[in-house]
């Protein structure tokens, strides 16, 4: 039975990931959150669910992070904020704690151990290729409105890429997102689409993580609707 870690379980994407995983009987879910009661209110179906283990605490707690991600197949890094606050560093803090945890796991394990794949939720807005077809007036507005959040994401991406010689990361970069029902999805290296539901985004993230051929490893990947 495969185990996956979801970092940021109370966010829209984190909750959608958990909901999708619960539809697959042969998976276990380790969920990191800062507020367990909030998570239980959001997803009452996980209360007393033996397939779900919750790790509550600070994003800076490397011991907690190590316990959360040890033995997992993939780590979904979806700790995000919509507050464009100067100096915000949630994505960087998450990336730093995960890398430090992986360093501990690697040091404690036999040589050649397969470490979990990381799947970082980013944004098509900060990717020149994926954003090339966005309306000319729209992208500058978004880059300004969420400038501090995007700076945090860029720095987190750069930090994870600096460890690409031993850690595999997939950079998921959707366009606009909405709390809609699932309508189907496609992974794309070339196109973004607005709007995609969180359920479809999370399903796409799982598909990318589970790809055995590694075609998404180290790549910027967006999500579109079904063909």
CA separation for the pair 11, 160 (Å, rounded): 22
pLDDT per position as a tens digit, 100-141: 999 999 999 888 789 999 999 999 999 999 999 988 899 999
Contact 40, 9 (CB under 8 A): no
Q: In this predicted structure, what is the pLDDT of residue 214?
A: 95
CA of residue 86 relative to chain centroid, distance = 22
Give the Cα separation of 67 and 75 in Å (integer). Answer: 12
pLDDT value of residue 118: 99
Q: What's the mean pLDDT when you consider all of the chain?
A: 96
Which of 203, 171, 170 lies closest to 185, judged by CA?
203
The whole-number average pLDDT for the span 190-194 is: 93
Can you read off the two tokens belonging to residue 40? 């239980």
The per-residue pLDDT for 112 is 79
15-43 pLDDT, tens digit each: 999 999 999 999 999 999 999 999 999 99
Percent of the chain at pLDDT exceeding 90? 91
71-107 tens-digit pLDDT: 999 999 999 888 999 999 999 999 999 999 999 999 9
- Please give the model's pTM, rounded to 2 decimal places: 0.96
Domain ranges in the chain are 2-224
Q: How confident is the model at residue 1 (pLDDT cuts 50, 70, 90)?
A: confident
Say how far apart CA 223 and CA 196 lie, in whole Å: 8
**CA–CA distance, 88 with 158 (Å, rounded to integer):** 16
pLDDT band at residue 62 using 50, 70 and 90 as cut-offs: very high
- Residue 109, pLDDT score: 82
Largest CA distance in the chain: 53
Q: Answer yes or no: is pLDDT of 227 > 80.
A: no
DSSP classification of residue 116 = P
Q: What is the pLDDT, as a whole number, of residue 136? A: 86
**Tokens encoding 177:** 């997102």
CA nearest to 206, candidates 70, 9, 13, 8: 13
The yes/no answer on whether domain 2-224 falls in CATH 3.40.50.720 is: yes
Residue 83's φ and ψ, nearest 5 degrees, are -90, 115
């Amino acid at each position: 039975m495969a185990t996956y870690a979801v970092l940021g379980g109370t966010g829209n994407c984190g909750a959608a990931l958990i909901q999708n995983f619960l539809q697959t009987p042969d998976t276990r879910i380790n969920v990191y959150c800062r507020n367990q009661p909030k998570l239980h209110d959001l997803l009452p179906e996980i209360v007393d669910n033996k397939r779900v283990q919750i790790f509550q605490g600070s994003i800076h707690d490397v011991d907690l992070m190590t316990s959360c991600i040890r033995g997992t197949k993939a780590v979904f890094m979806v700790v995000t904020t919509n507050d464009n606050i100067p100096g915000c560093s949630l994505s960087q803090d998450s990336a730093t704690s995960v890398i430090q945890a992986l360093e501990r796991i690697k040091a404690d394990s036999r040589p050649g151990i397969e470490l979990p794949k990381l799947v970082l939720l980013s944004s098509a807005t900060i990717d020149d290729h994926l954003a090339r077809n966005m309306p000319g007036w729209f992208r500058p507005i978004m880059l300004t409105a969420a400038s501090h959040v995007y700076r945090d994401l860029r720095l987190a991406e750069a930090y994870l890429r600096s460890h690409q010689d031993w850690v595999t990361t997939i950079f998921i970069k959707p366009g606009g997102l909405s709390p809609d029902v699932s309508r189907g999805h496609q992974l794309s290296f070339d196109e973004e689409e607005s709007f995609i539901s969180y359920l479809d985004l999370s399903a796409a993230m799982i598909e990318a993580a589970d790809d055995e051929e590694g075609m998404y490893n180290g790549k910027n990947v967006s999500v579109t609707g079904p063909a």
